[in-house]
Amino acid sequence: MSTADWTMGSTTARQTAVEPGRTLIGEVVSNGALMYAPRTLRLLVGADATCVRSPDGRLIWLETTDSSAFTAADGQVHKYTHTDEATVLVPRDTAAEARALVNLPAALAWSTATLQPGSQPADPQQFEHRPADIQTAAAADGRQLRLAVDRETGVILAITGKSLRGDFDLKLRSVHMVNTTPDHFAARHL
């Protein structure tokens, strides 16, 4: 089995409904048949940036409109601009599952699934007391996914289904909006 099969793809789609000057902060909890699960990460989503940190503030991945940064295996933070022509070798763990929760296109890219028609309102009690819609998606091999999409911001509050290795669930907990500070999207450890 390849790493792509295990990590369920990548996330390259960028689009959020977080207003400028605000940051959505949530705790990502992964369980089941996902690489590195079970684990907890911190996801920060701004209008022009996405950051994933470990619970202790260590930078895992940062992506802005013009650059990216990540922590390599040696513990050093590496930055590169999106116009760099040099090949950049990213680490194996880019927290792809957390980045998949940024929005529906990112979730579909990560899971390599296609959205199915229709949706239904979600029970707010199950999803951080936030209004959400439940959507379903299917992978080419027939695996079904259930996604809870936040109505206000478009972030994914939960993805449940099957990876190639078995059942998994991925949740965004403790979701709150705050005013953006320079530390939220700093290319360094906090």
113 contacts 121 by C-beta, under 8 angstroms: no
Given a cut of 50, whether residue 143 has pLDDT beyond it is yes
47 contacts 22 by C-beta, under 8 angstroms: yes
* Of 12-26, 73-87, 95-109, minimum mean pLDDT range: 12-26
Q: How far apart are CA 92 and CA 133, in angstroms?
A: 32
* Of 13-17, 73-77, 121-125, minimum mean pLDDT range: 13-17
pLDDT of residue 82: 86
pTM of this structure: 0.86
Across 92-111, average pLDDT: 94
Q: Between β-strands 132-139 and 49-53, what pairing exists: parallel, antiparallel or unpaired?
A: unpaired
pLDDT of residue 128: 84
pLDDT of residue 24: 96
pLDDT of residue 87: 80
Could you tell me what percentage of the chain is helix, strand and coil, using 3-state DSSP and rounding each to the nearest 5?
15, 45, 45
Across 100-109, average pLDDT: 96
Other beta carbons within 10 Å of 163: 21
Given a cut of 80, whether residue 85 has pLDDT beyond it is no
What the chain holds in terms of domains, given with CATH numbers, is: 3-185 (2.50.20)
Average pLDDT for the chain = 88
DSSP one-letter code for 46: -
Across 120-142, average pLDDT: 90
